[in-house]
């Protein structure tokens, strides 16, 4: 057994051992805060943790209140029920292939050039990189609930071994129009469609969709997908700092409209507190089937002299057939260039999931990202298998295959095998 294979076996064994520990944890401590607060199972709001179902979508936009509940003053509540934590460990085994960099005449005595030539000859012009690692995922800490009747808050911290970062923090004035038909929210928040979210996705690999500014095609080495993201801001969620109006409007027994319309900035890396973005979405739900539209008009960069206009819009659909779910999204992002033509990036995804058993879900997804009139493109295929020991304890195995072409026309490929154990409490 080679070294990589040994590390693979050891890594997966550690993930399995951790999951068994989770399984035999005291059940009362394993129930997430929101479920404890409502005296309900996690499955009341989640298709499969963390993806929301219709009840969960309504609970979120309703300010973390159930139907008919106006909320309580915070001093009247058990505050431990406002706190939720998601923690876990991930195992990564990834193979990457790319052409060797072109050789240059480095002169006599340059042992590095000789070594590179030997490697290129041995690998027929292809450089192969293998990685295998077991890592603790950053802990996601959530505080949410009502501060007073019809006033709610949400705070999200990301804690790692080296730092703790405040990722999101906002508060809402609820029921400006009855039954959460109109709410007002201010702060830093994620803007995403209720059924299509980077933070609530079922796969370990993120989407290749791009809705925010940032030139594509730089070929990052991130862990988000199989390792070669073609966009610098991949994902179907936008982080915004500002204020918005939002709500869920009932249009009959089987029809509703959820919407968000906001003003602010991109919430990340802005050195000036100014309003330079308008954003929002609308989702129409008819009998459990949803179609949605999302848009973002923003600036790329915070230097006023080189800011570039960014416009993005996308259309998506989420369709349910018994135990099957199909989600599709197509998006266009146009970014102005100083002294050049606009750059247009198209991106999208097609995802299917199957609830095989009550506690077993299979997910298959295809992603793409493509810059018009260039060679820059990326494709990703993902197959993921999720097993829930408890509604809030998940084991996951995933295969992600990625191919990408960068600005120089260089083709790269990556195949990642991922394993994970996650618990929410």
CA torsion through residues 13, 17, 23, 28, sign? negative
**367, 330 Cβ separation under 8 angstroms:** no
Burial level of 344, CB count in 10 A (0-12/13-18/19+)? middle
Q: In a 3-state reduction of DSSP, which class is residue 115? A: helix
Please give the pLDDT value at position 160. 86
Task: Please state, in angstroms and rounded to a whole number, the distance separating the CA atoms of residues 382 and 393.
Answer: 22
**63, 74 Cβ separation under 8 angstroms:** no
Task: Please state, in angstroms and rounded to a whole number, the distance separating the CA atoms of residues 143 and 50.
Answer: 16
Which residues, at least 6 apart from 340, have a Cβ–Cβ distance to it below 8 Å?
none
DSSP H or E segment with residue 413: strand 411-424
Q: In a 3-state reduction of DSSP, which class is residue 276? A: coil
Q: Which CATH class is domain 3-424?
A: mainly beta
Angle at 261 between CA 260 and CA 264, to 5 degrees: 120
Task: Please state, in angstroms and rounded to a whole number, the distance separating the CA atoms of residues 199 and 167.
Answer: 12
Strand spans (E) along 39-181? 46-48, 51-52, 83-99, 126-136, 139-148, 151-159, 164-177
Residue ranges in the chain whose pLDDT is less than 70: 1-44, 47-49, 100-125, 214-233, 267-274, 300-307, 338-339
Length of the chain in residues, anyone? 425
Q: Could you tell me which residues are beta bridge partners of residue 246?
A: 183, 260
Radius of gyration of the chain (CA): 23
Residue 310 exposure: Cα atoms within 13 Å on the Cβ side: 27
Which residues, at least 6 apart from 94, have a Cβ–Cβ distance to it below 8 Å?
130, 131, 132, 226, 227, 414, 415, 416, 417
Please give the pLDDT value at position 166. 87
Closest to 366 (Cα-Cα) out of 346, 344, 347, 385: 347
User: How many CB atoms sit inside 10 A of residue 124's CB?
Assistant: 7
**417, 398 Cβ separation under 8 angstroms:** yes
Phi, psi at residue 141, to the nearest 5°? -115, 125
Task: Please state, in angstroms and rounded to a whole number, the distance separating the CA atoms of residues 131 and 417.
Answer: 10
């Amino acid at each position: 057994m080679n070294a990589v294979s040994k590390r693979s076996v050891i890594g997966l064994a550690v993930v399995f051992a951790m999951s068994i520990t989770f399984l035999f944890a005291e059940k009362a401590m394993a129930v997430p805060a929101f479920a404890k607060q409502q005296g309900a199972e996690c499955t009341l709001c989640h298709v499969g943790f963390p993806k929301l179902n219709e009840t969960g979508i309504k609970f979120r936009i309703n300010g973390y209140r159930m139907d008919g509940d106006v909320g309580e003053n915070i001093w009247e509540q058990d505050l431990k029920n406002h706190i939720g934590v998601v923690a876990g460990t991930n195992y990564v085994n990834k193979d990457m292939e790319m052409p060797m960099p072109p050789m240059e005449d480095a002169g006599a005595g340059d042992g590095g050039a000789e070594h590179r030539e030997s490697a290129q000859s041995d690998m027929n012009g292809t450089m192969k990189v293998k990685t295998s690692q077991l890592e603790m995922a950053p802990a996601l800490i959530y505080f949410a609930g009502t501060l007073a009747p019809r006033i709610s808050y949400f705070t999200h911290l990301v804690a790692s071994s080296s730092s703790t970062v405040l990722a999101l923090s906002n508060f809402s004035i609820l029921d400006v129009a009855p039954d959460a038909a109109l709410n007002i929210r201010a702060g830093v928040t994620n803007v995403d469609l209720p059924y299509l979210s980077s933070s609530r996705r079922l796969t370990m690999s993120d989407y290749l969709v791009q809705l925010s500014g940032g030139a594509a095609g730089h070929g990052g080495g991130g862990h988000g997908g199989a390792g070669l993201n073609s966009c610098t801001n991949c994902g179907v969620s936008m982080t915004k700092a500002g204020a918005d109006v939002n709500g869920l409007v009932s249009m009959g027994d089987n029809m509703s409209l959820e919407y968000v319309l906001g003003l602010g900035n991109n919430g990340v890396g802005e050195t000036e507190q100014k309003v330079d973005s308008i954003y929002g979405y609308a989702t129409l739900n008819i009998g459990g089937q949803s179609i949605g539209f999302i848009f973002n008009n923003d600036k790329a960069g915070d230097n006023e002299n080189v800011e570039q206009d960014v416009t993005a819009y996308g259309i998506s659909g989420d369709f349910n057939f018994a135990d099957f779910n199909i989600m599709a999204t197509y998006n266009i992002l146009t970014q102005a260039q100083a002294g050049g033509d606009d750059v247009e990036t198209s991106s999208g995804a097609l995802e299917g999931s199957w609830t095989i058993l009550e506690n077993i879900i299979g997910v298959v997804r295809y992603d793409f990202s493509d810059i018009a009139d260039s060679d820059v493109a990326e494709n990703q295929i993902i197959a993921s298998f999720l097993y829930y020991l408890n509604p809030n304890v998940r084991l996951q195995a995933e295969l992600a295959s990625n191919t990408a072409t960068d600005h120089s026309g260089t083709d790269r490929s990556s195949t990642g095998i991922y394993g994970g154990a996650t618990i929410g409490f």
